[in-house]
Structures are given as structure tokens and as C-alpha cells.
Structure 1
Amino acid sequence: MKSPSMGVEEELLLVSATGDPLPRSKAVVADVQELDVALELTRAMVEINSPVCETADELRGHLTEMRARLAKAAADEGGRLLAIAVPPHGRAAQSITRKPRYQELADKWGLLAREQGVCGCHVHVDVPDKEAAIRASNHLRPWLPVLLALTANSPIYLDQDTGFASWRWLMTTRWPCAGPPPYFESVEHYDALVAMHLASGTLIDEQMVYWDIRPSSHLPTIEVRVSDIPLTVDETVVLATVVRALVMTAVEDGSQGPSLEPEVLRAAYWLAARDGLTGNGLDVRTAESLPMVQVLKRLLQHVEPALQELDAADMVEDGIQRVLSTGNGAVRQRRAFREGANLIALTEVKP
């Protein structure tokens, strides 16, 4: 059977020479109209949308080119492009993009929206239908915390160490329909919960379903949204390949997926957001506490057959080892901050 295709959305931050968020996204996007690059909620954010890809190498090539061309466009507008998940300098409230939907979000959610200048990475994987997407969501829930730990890249926020490897995740979970999704009994169960949110006014549309996994509202994919924007393209490619393998494993299983103790999942998330890869985590399936690196190894064992099918096992293993030896974005940012080094230089995407 043909392996499912994948695609990635990367949100990136525009800053000035001083590192403050730079509200020039409209001009930057206009400079690269031939690319699939979109405006985001705040005027200091831009979003790359990769083409549909069949291989990791194809995805790497697209993201490398798109990051570089967008970085040049940012430089042409007097800015710099950062692969970082929260603003390292400046002030919390940011300027909202002048689109009716974003203006409505700001009107209804106030400071929550204006402080939401945070950058994530969303991985789309093709699925046969919505029913398969719902089953995959249930199957992926135990592994969401370790995906967050792997990609954590937001410890420094507004000139201070937050004490968390992923401050972005804590900020995004303040929205009414965010964080880990519920366990879904069926497509009808999912649809009923979304309809409840819409009817109650906690959402203005289905695009506001910000759960860390969701069936796409407009594509035949499942979308995994848990991750910070990784510091490097290679880290994004590893993340996307692991997510692809998780979805393949879930679809192959065919069952509705494991029902988890919600408080164990909540604790696992909190540990992942605070400590990233450097502390203890939880195997959500067993509630066993062990080093997060060991949880990561269990994840890789879980998807090993799918990675072999994709001919990507060696690539993923090499990528994970690089992250463990050099540190992910959170580790490298915190090290630079402690040593007084320049965070902008560390996280800047080069043209």
C-alpha cells in the first residue's frame, strides 16, 4: 500500500534589528507571492505552507528553500526571520493582522489574542477519511507530550527565562478548545463537541479548533499541532516523519485507540512543557515515570515498522541523536541566554 503523503506549516517570527517583533508581515508576504506563505494572527508572524510531499528529502528541500527566500524578503523589509516559538524581546501585546477574522478574534478574546504571537509547527498526514482521522487522534494522544518535549523551543520570553522548555504550549492552551483532544468515540462524537463549542460561542468557526490533533476542516488529512517551531529544518523533517509513522501505525491498527486517564496525560504534558528532553516524563499508557529520553525511545520502538516501510529509520535515528547531543531549541536557547549570547543570531533563519 502506498505510504501517506505529508505537508508542514511552519510559523516564523519577524523581528527588528533589536529583536522586537516587527509588524511587517503583509509587506514580507507580498515580496514572495509565488510561494505559499500566509499571514497569521499577529503582524509579526508569517506562515510557510509546504507542498504535499512524498519523501523526507522532498520536504527538506522545500522547507530549506522557503525559509531562505522568506528570510531574504524579511531582510529586504528591514527585518529578520526567526525560527523561535515566542518573542525573546519586546512586549507581550502585539499588533493584530488587519483581516476581518483576526480582528473579530481580537475583539472577542482581547489580550489573549493580542498576546498570541507564538509560532508552532503543524504536520498534516493524508488519511483515508474522517473516521480514520478520529481513530488516529486517539492513537496519537499518548505520544503528544514527547513530541512537545522533542521540539520545545520557547524557554525565553520577553527577556526572561520562563522556567519552561515550551512556554508557547502554556500560552496556546489558554484558548477554549486547545491542548490534548478528548478521546472520541466516533466521528459523530467529534462533530457534536465541535457543534457545542460553536453554539456556545467559545468558537467562531471550526478553524478555532486548536486541539493538538484535529481532522483538517478543508483537507483529507489529520493535523498534529502540538509542536513548537523547531530551530532547524532537519528537526522539522524528523518531527514530520515521526508523525507520519505514528499515523501509519494507527491506521494499520484499525482499532478505536486506547482510552487514557486524563490526569496522567495532563501530568505528562506539564512535564514535557517544563523540562523538554532534559527531565523526567511519563509513559502515558502505563503512568510510569522515567527519563523523557526513555519515553522517546519507546515512541521510536512503537513506530519502527512504519519508519522501516518509509526507509526513514536511519534518518530519524541520526536526527534524534543530533538533537540529544547538541540540544533542541530550548536547550540551546537557555544555554545562550545563560552565557549572555545573542538569541537573535542563534535562531535567525539565513537568506
Structure 2
Amino acid sequence: MLKARVPRAGTGISPARAGAGLTLGVEEEFLLVDPVSGTPVPYAGRVLAAAGEHPFDGGRYHRELLKSQVEAATGVCDSLDGARGQIRDARARLAAATAREGFLLLSTGTPVLPGPVPVSDHEERYAAISRMYAGIVADYQACGCHVHVGVGGRETAVAVCNHLRPWLPALLALSANSPFDHGRDSGHASWRMIEQSRFPGSGVPPAFASAADHDRAVDLLVDCGVVADPAMSFWLARPSPHLPTVEVRAADAAATADDAVLQAAITRALVRTALDDLSAGREAPDSGPDVCAAAVWTAARYGLEGPAIHPFEERQVPVRRLLGDLMFHITPALEETGDLAEVRALLTWVMRTGSGASRQRQAASDGGLRALVRMLARQTAATPERGGR
């Protein structure tokens, strides 16, 4: 059961209720692969030079940890339609630039086929990360979809993250899009999350009493020498280290632009719901670390094609039941922003067609792994009508 408690005095939580224009931004990570072999290639610099400047104010393209990865970040968006336009445009532009350089752009949580590439050398920070984690990052070509939602202050951001904790595994299950690892079916829907779990401080974050409490926990990891700097925690949700936002990083790289839009819409609605609860004096529900870890593992193992762990009942339930409870939880927020019909259509399409992982497996079964790579390239750049129609 959800436990509602009055927050302690002096927590610094803003009583202001979020307006309908709560801002959001989306960061998408992509892989570059050879069009013939399907293996990753280390040419992020060439592709980014070919892509040029991001056309939207505040948006950007940039390198990631390994030379086979690029990222597209939207500017600040006031509406879901605005985010959709920027997501589709960035994918189309990056795919075109990648094609001009002779490669393919893929939105998948992990590479389908093996092909180790070097760590990016344009930042000393990446070299430090490589030295710290050694073999863990030698072939860590994991890609995610990160959603930022504007909340104002850090105290509010930390309190919101406490409310998000129970629902982060559901966001992972919905996004699962990385079943293959080095040319084999891993048996998991999100192998990316399994790889990420090898880093210290991964998974659902602890519940923090304040921003200072959060910062002490991050500083402790730095002092212990297991994260490179305060901007490098691996938790699935956190107050952004450089923006006035909550940053949610549960999702695999989104299979399609519509999958990315769905993640953005649900994440913003979860944040809006958390702000409403905080304004009404309701603290976050208790979610034990063991249950959270079990829920993340189950979401990574099965995605939408198996059971889920219910965060409040603390037991396995059908994944459709969990997503139904999630939708019940956020429906008022979706109604206020006018996004309810859109999210229902997108969610219905995903549940009908299966997760990105399921679609990957079907493509591999039909034509083999190289055919799967070509399918991933097509759906990365495609701009389907809403709801996949």
C-alpha cells in the first residue's frame, strides 16, 4: 500500500504546483555501425562533423564514452509535440550524416554484433573513466534514452526522485531494446541494464532526506574512488548535476521516435504527479532496496514479455497489470497536459507489437543478425504517424 506521510518541516520543498507547461528535454544515444558487417565503427567525430550544428535552440549533438557512439539532445521543450518534432528531426539529420560517411545509425541499447572500439580521446574525463573501470568500459557501448523534466530547485528534484523510485523499473520494462550481446541472444530484454549493473551505485537510487543528503552520498562514492566525479552517478534517476531538472535514465535507447516520445510523456507525468503529491504534503511511498533491485532485474530479464515486480505489493504480477497501475497513477497529470489520448495510443501500439527487444528478436528470426541491423537502421530514422499507425 502507498504510505502517505506529512513531510518534515524545513525540507525546502516548494509548495508550488506544477503548471501545464512543465518543460522537458530528451537525450538519445546512438551507435554507428558498418553497413556490410554490422559491427560498430569508431567514427563519431566524422559523423558529428557531417551533421553540423543542431537546428533547435539549446539542442546539441556530441560524442559519448566510446568512439562508436553519438548523442542528440533536444533543447528545452514546452510540449510533447515540440519534443516529438525535435526527436524526429535529430534522428533524420544524424542518420543522413551517418549515411553520407558510409555508415548506419542505430538506436539500440547494445550492439547486435561484436566490434570493440576505442574510448573517446577528446576529453580527459573519458580517459580517467577508462583508467578507473578498466575492462568494464573496454567494450561498454551501451546506449540509453534520458529524459529531463524541469522542476526548479535541487531540494524539489531530490524529493521528486524519491517519488519516482517505485516506477523506474516499469520505465525500463517499457523501453527494453537490447537483447543481443556480441552476436548472441542474451536471454534478457535489456542487456544494457545488466551491463550497467556492474558499475558502483547503479539501479534505483536510495531515498534521500534532502539535497545535502544526496550530495553526501555522491561525494562518498567519489571519495571511495568508485566514481570519477559527482556528475557520474549511475542511478536511474537523479537531480541533474548541471541543469535545474530531474534526469531519468532508466530507458534503453528508444527503438523508434514514438518510443522516445512515450518515455518522455510518461516521465513528465510521473514528475508532475510527484510534485502534486509533495504540494499536498504526501511523502514518497516506502520501497525497499531489495524489492527495487528485484524489480530492475525482472524488467531487464523480461521487458514486456514476462512478469513484473509490483513495487507496493512486493510480488510478481503480469506486466500489463503493472503498466495499468502506472497509467492509473499518472492519468490526472496526462489529462492536465492534454497528453492522455496520445499516451494511450502509443502504449496500446507498444503492447500490441511488443517491446523493442521482442521486435529485434523477430527480425533476427526472420532474416538473421545482419537483417536485424538493417531493420534497426530503418526504424531509427523512420517518422511514423502517432501511435505507430
After superposing the two structures, state which structure 1 stretch, 179-188 or 147-156, moved more. Answer: 179-188
Q: Secondary structure at the match of 1:66?
A: helix
Q: Secondary structure at the match of 1:9?
A: strand
Deviation for aligned residue 1:2: 4.2
Counterpart of 2:25? 7
Q: Which amino acid is 2:62 matched to? A: A
Deviation for aligned residue 1:3: 2.9
Is 2:220 the counterpart of 1:189?
A: no
Is 2:260 the counterpart of 1:260?
A: no
Counterpart of 1:350? 381
For the 8 Å contact 2:305–2:354, the answer to whether it is kept is no
Counterpart of 2:203? 179
Residue pairs, 1:51-70, within 5 angstroms = 51-70=75-94
Alignment equivalent of 2:345, drawn from 318, 325, 343? 318
Alignment equivalent of 1:29, drawn from 48, 52, 61? 48
After superposing the two structures, state which structure 1 stretch, 77-86 or 27-36, moved more. Answer: 27-36
Counterpart of 1:215? 239
Q: Which amino acid is 1:180 matched to? A: V
Alignment equivalent of 2:329, drawn from 302, 306, 310? 302
Residue pairs, 1:1-351, within 5 angstroms = 1-17=19-35, 18-35=37-54, 36-91=60-115, 93-98=116-121, 99-254=123-278, 255-341=282-368, 342-348=371-377, 349-350=380-381
Q: Which amino acid is 1:202 matched to? A: V
- Distance in 2 (CA, whole Å) between partners of 1:133 and 1:293 is 29
Q: Secondary structure at the match of 2:30?
A: strand
For the 8 Å contact 2:41–2:117, the answer to whether it is kept is no
After superposing the two structures, state which structure 1 stretch, 144-153 or 200-209, moved more. Answer: 200-209
Deviation for aligned residue 1:223: 0.2
5+ residue gaps, structure 1 = none
5+ residue gaps, structure 2 = 1-18, 55-59, 383-389
Q: Which amino acid is 1:19 matched to? A: G
Q: Secondary structure at the match of 2:117?
A: coil
Deviation digits for residues 269-289 of structure 1, max 9, x if unmatched? 111110101111111112132
For the 8 Å contact 1:122–1:227, the answer to whether it is kept is yes
RMSD (Å), alpha carbons: 1.2
For the 8 Å contact 1:185–1:256, the answer to whether it is kept is no
For the 8 Å contact 2:203–2:296, the answer to whether it is kept is no
- Distance in 1 (CA, whole Å) between partners of 2:139 and 2:206 is 26
For the 8 Å contact 1:84–1:230, the answer to whether it is kept is yes
- Distance in 1 (CA, whole Å) between partners of 2:117 and 2:320 is 36
Q: Which amino acid is 1:260 matched to? A: S
Q: Secondary structure at the match of 1:165?
A: coil
Counterpart of 2:9? none
- Distance in 1 (CA, whole Å) between partners of 2:216 and 2:222 is 10
Aligned length: 350
Q: Which amino acid is 1:152 matched to? A: A
Deviation digits for residues 246-285 of structure 1, max 9, x if unmatched? 0000011113312212211111111111010111111111
Deviation for aligned residue 1:177: 2.2
- Distance in 2 (CA, whole Å) between partners of 1:296 and 1:78 is 40
- Distance in 1 (CA, whole Å) between partners of 2:345 and 2:40 is 34
- Distance in 2 (CA, whole Å) between partners of 1:206 and 1:168 is 22
Q: Secondary structure at the match of 1:171?
A: helix
Q: Secondary structure at the match of 1:346?
A: helix
Deviation for aligned residue 1:78: 1.3
Give percent identity, aligned residues only: 39
For the 8 Å contact 1:268–1:282, the answer to whether it is kept is yes
Q: Which amino acid is 1:74 matched to? A: T
Q: Which amino acid is 2:286 matched to? A: S
After superposing the two structures, state which structure 1 stretch, 116-125 or 25-34, moved more. Answer: 25-34
- Distance in 2 (CA, whole Å) between partners of 1:231 and 1:43 is 21
TM superposition score normalised by structure 1: 0.97
